[in-house]
C-alpha cells in the first residue's frame, strides 16, 4: 500500500527543502517510511495534534524540525508547513498557519 507525498503549494515544498541538511535527511527518511507504511508513524517520529493535523518530528545535528501534515482520501499525505524548532513549545503562529491550511485542504 503506497502513499503519496504532496505539498500545500510550491513555497511549502521549497521551505522544506531548505531545512538544514541533517534535519532534511531525517525528513526524507521519515517520508519514505510514510509512503510505504502510512502516515501514522507515532512517537517519537510523529504526533497527532488533533483535528486531523499531525506533526512530523525530524531531527539532525543542527537541531529539531517540525513538519505539519494531514492525510486525504486516496492515501495522499499533504505537507502543510515546516520550520526549525528553537524553543520547547511550538510557536502559536506556526501552529495557526498549519491549522488554517488544513481547513483549506479539507474544504477543497
20-54 pLDDT per residue, tens: 999 999 999 999 999 888 887 888 899 999 888 99
Domain total of the chain = 1
- Whether the per-residue pLDDT at 104 is higher than 70: the answer is yes
Q: Is the link from the previous residue into 24 a cis peptide, with omega within 30 of 0?
A: no
Length of the chain: 108
Q: What contacts 30, CB < 8 A, 6 or more positions away?
A: 41, 45, 46, 56, 58
Give me the CATH number covering residue 70: 3.30.2310.20
Which residues constitute the domain of residue 66? 4-107
Helix (H) or strand (E) holding 59: strand 59-60
pLDDT-above-90 percentage for the chain: 61
Q: What is the pLDDT of residues 64-73, one digit of tens each?
A: 999 999 987 6
DSSP single-letter state for residue 46:
E
Amino acid at each position: 500500500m503506497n502513499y503519496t507525498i504532496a505539498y500545500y503549494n510550491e513555497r511549502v515544498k521549497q521551505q522544506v527543502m531548505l531545512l538544514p541538511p541533517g534535519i532534511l535527511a531525517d525528513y526524507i527518511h521519515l517520508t519514505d517510511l510514510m509512503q510505504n507504511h502510512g502516515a501514522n508513524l507515532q512517537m517519537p517520529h510523529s504526533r497527532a495534534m488533533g483535528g486531523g493535523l499531525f506533526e512530523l518530528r525530524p531531527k539532525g545535528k543542527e537541531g529539531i524540525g517540525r513538519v505539519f501534515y494531514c492525510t486525504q482520501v486516496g492515501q495522499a499525505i499533504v505537507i502543510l508547513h515546516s520550520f526549525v524548532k528553537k524553543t520547547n513549545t511550538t510557536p502559536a503562529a506556526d501552529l495557526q498557519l498549519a491549522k488554517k491550511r488544513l481547513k483549506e485542504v479539507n474544504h477543497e
